[in-house]
Amino acid sequence: MSKKYEILIVDDVSENIKVAISILKNDAYNFSYALNGQQAIEILKTKRFDLLLLDVMMPGLDGFQLAKMIKKTPAIKDTPIIFLTAKVDIESIEKGFNIGAVDYVTKPFHPVELKSRVANHLELYRYRRELKRDNVKLANEIGVVKSRHYTDLELAQKEIIYMLSEIMESDSGETACHVKRVARISQKLGALEGNLSEHEVEVLHLAAPLHDIGKILVDNSILHKADKLTDEEFEHMKEHTAYAIKILKNSQREIIKAARIIAYEHHEHFDGNGYPRGLRGESIHIFSRIVAIADVLDALTHKRSYKEAWSFEKAAKYIIERKGTQFDPRLIEIFKMNLEVFKEIIEEEECSE
């Protein structure tokens, strides 16, 4: 099924919102709305959109002021804005484009014009995002060629890690795609964290796929159980963190040592209520705190034998609500400010289930 476009309409007159939705009604569009600028800000904190339709003349925070705030917010500054307004003077039109709007449509709406302009800008935004993604991918590929100087042994080590991860995930009833996405999410969050070096981020990227390596020693009847685990079964499942230590204990390689830490600690909670040791706060390794978020995000947004897939928005809300309890509050703030980045990783089609 093709991806739906998310559109936010902001207007203090509800009738105008109804008219716009009626004109634009399309199976490919999902609509959200706000009756003032402040409501729009609250919505934009937790949800990302492909297009924003803003009225200009609103009480309190007007459309121009709201657009300026959006353009100053890194996570959403590239979202296209179309002003829908009765202000037709040349100064207002010029001001709208100077702020960064992609279009300016005057009321009353002409249905054909509004539908065409919205469709065109949604398509342009999709192409821009695809081009940006392709450029990042190309830059990464060039970076691999130019700056990575892995020896044959190091390359072999990387391949072995992925092969072992795929075997482990297949045996646990999950997918090879899961470990790759967890690695990608961890790598991106590690880079955004700001305190890890480029080398440390790469170590995190390579070690993250082994976060659940201990599950290969957990009984298959528990791993593949479709119903909720009993207390006794859950206690047995929790042992996979200790099993990971047994599996990885003899290696002194940097990546394997990092994987050992992650596998042992990624179920610890920031408030000390996790397992296996009840570690609290920064006593949990930064790698483990990062992978904890990545693992939960991917697990929630993909189907498993015991659950259906959640939407990205529902999963993100779940994670953000556990800021300071299950997850590192500083990492959650970084996650919250970059939701679109992580949504793109979750929705990538290159690794099919």
- The CATH code of the domain that includes 288 is 1.10.3210.10
Q: Is residue 136 part of a domain?
A: no
What local confidence, expressed as pLDDT, does residue 132 receive? Answer: 80
What local confidence, expressed as pLDDT, does residue 165 receive? Answer: 64
Please check whether residue 228 is in contact with residue 306, taking contact to mean a CB–CB distance below 8 angstroms: yes
What residue has token string 């100064």? 91
DSSP single-letter state for residue 333: H
Say how far apart CA 24 and CA 33 lie, in whole Å: 13
Please check whether residue 66 is in contact with residue 37, taking contact to mean a CB–CB distance below 8 angstroms: yes
Q: Which amino acid is at 258?
A: A
Q: Is residue 317 part of a domain?
A: yes
What local confidence, expressed as pLDDT, does residue 157 receive? Answer: 61
Say how far apart CA 43 and CA 140 lie, in whole Å: 33
Paired sense of beta strands 29-34 and 51-54, if any: unpaired
What residue has token string 């230590």? 245
- The CATH code of the domain that includes 111 is 3.40.50.2300
What local confidence, expressed as pLDDT, does residue 353 receive? Answer: 46
Say how far apart CA 96 and CA 93 lie, in whole Å: 5
Q: Is residue 35 part of a domain?
A: yes
Q: Among 128, 160, 175, identify where a domain stops.
A: 128
Q: Is residue 141 part of a domain?
A: no
The count of residues in the chain is 353
Cβ atoms < 10 Å from Cβ of 270:
25
Together in a domain, 107 and 253: no
Together in a domain, 239 and 109: no
**Active-site pick, 215, 303, 314, 343:** 215
Together in a domain, 242 and 306: yes
Together in a domain, 184 and 312: yes
Chain mean position to CA 30 = 19
Q: Is residue 135 part of a domain?
A: no
Together in a domain, 337 and 238: yes
Together in a domain, 187 and 81: no
**What is the arithmetic mean of pLDDT over 21-34?**
93
Q: Among 128, 160, 187, identify where a domain stops.
A: 128
**What is the arithmetic mean of pLDDT over 225-239?**
87
H helix count then E strand count, the chain: 16, 5
Together in a domain, 156 and 241: yes
Together in a domain, 163 and 110: no
Q: Is residue 142 part of a domain?
A: no
Dihedral sign, CA of 177, 179, 184, 185? positive
Q: Which domain does 124 fall in, by range?
A: 5-128
Q: Is residue 213 part of a domain?
A: yes
Together in a domain, 167 and 122: no
- Encode pLDDT of 174-227 as tens digits: 556 788 899 999 999 999 999 999 999 999 998 998 998 888 888 878 877 778
Among 306, 263, 327, 344, CA closest to 75: 344
Together in a domain, 114 and 175: no
What local confidence, expressed as pLDDT, does residue 218 receive? Answer: 83
Please check whether residue 83 is in contact with residue 71, taking contact to mean a CB–CB distance below 8 angstroms: no
Q: Among 96, 128, 160, identify where a domain stops.
A: 128
Among 6, 4, 9, CA closest to 19: 9
Q: With 50 as the cut, is the pLDDT of residue 25 above it?
A: yes
What local confidence, expressed as pLDDT, does residue 149 receive? Answer: 52
More confident position, 3 or 123: 123
Together in a domain, 174 and 119: no
Q: Is residue 30 part of a domain?
A: yes
- Encode pLDDT of 120-169 as tens digits: 999 998 888 888 887 777 776 666 555 555 555 566 566 666 666 666 65
343 is catalytic: no
Q: What is the mean pLDDT of the chain?
A: 87
Together in a domain, 53 and 102: yes
**What is the arithmetic mean of pLDDT over 285-306?**
92
How many structural domains does the chain have?
Answer: 2
Among 15, 18, 82, 90, CA closest to 51: 82
